[in-house]
Amino acid sequence: MLKLLLTCEHGGNQIPSEYASLFSGEEPILATHKGYDIGALELFNRMQEVADHHYHSEVSRLLVELNRSINHHNLLSGFTKALTPKEKEKLLDTYYFPYRHKVEKKVDKLASAGRKVLHIAVHTFTPVLDGEERQTDIGLLYDPKRKQEQEICKVWRSKMLEKDSNLQVRFNYPYLGVADGLPTALRRQFGEDEYLGIELEVNQKFALGDQQVWQQLQETITSALREVLKPLRVDNEYSELF
């Protein structure tokens, strides 16, 4: 039986008081896509109704980037890279490692109990980056080598388009599914029989635009996912999708 694990690494733009001085005079940047994934937490909360387990963070990605590996050059931002080694260690021990380990332990616990985990990491992306307009409404990111991830994305896309044929849903865009991120790290730890990882990327133009349209999109994404999950949640390892 498959279990859905939902995460949201960039749900907020909070800066703990002890680090507030690092952002003095630069607070406006926290309200932009550089500070957090606009609309991601709202979508994550909407999708919780179909999840078995869920974790999120509301600490700004400019404090520490929870969706990057420990050695990634963007793990810390320009605001926090100047911290002393001891201060960096404290920052990581307080915010980075507890979040990552919490998710890893949940996957390990479920896998050890014989449950396959479908992990969906909920993210949003800025409509325009470096002057280039992103050409999609929704991106579904997966590892092309993992055929089950690919199949779930294909079915999920199909279900969404059945509900709204005007949506533009693309695979591995605006980022590659194998780029550095939490699902990529978890794939290295768990085999395809134990773990499937998908990153959901939604254009922030919806969260920033007409709220009725935004609410409807959240419903479309969630209800389509519910339909995808239905045949996977039976006690039959040979489901119709696989």
Q: What is the pLDDT of residues 14-67, one digit of tens each?
A: 999 999 999 999 999 999 999 999 999 999 999 999 999 999 999 999 999 999
The answer to whether position 242 is within a domain reads no
The answer to whether position 241 is within a domain reads no
Q: Can you tell me which residue has the tokens 């307080």?
A: 94
Q: Can you tell me which residue has the tokens 């089950």?
A: 148
Domain that holds residue 215: 2-233
129 DSSP β-pair partners: 132
The answer to whether position 213 is within a domain reads yes
Model confidence at 237: pLDDT above 60: no
The total number of structural domains in the chain stands at 1
Q: Which of the four pLDDT bands, split at 50, 70 and 90, describes residue 1?
A: confident
Model confidence at 229: pLDDT above 50: yes
The answer to whether position 199 is within a domain reads yes
CATH of the domain at 71: 3.40.630.40
Model confidence at 204: pLDDT above 50: yes
| pTM recorded for the entire structure | 0.96
CA distance 225 to 155: 9
Query: According to DSSP H, which parts of the chain are helical?
Result: 40-47, 85-91, 97-112, 147-163, 182-189, 204-207, 211-229
CA distance 126 to 207: 10
Burial of 101 (0-12, 13-18, 19+ CB in 10 A): exposed
Six token digits for residue 170: 């693309």
The answer to whether position 151 is within a domain reads yes
- The mean of the pLDDT values for the chain is 96
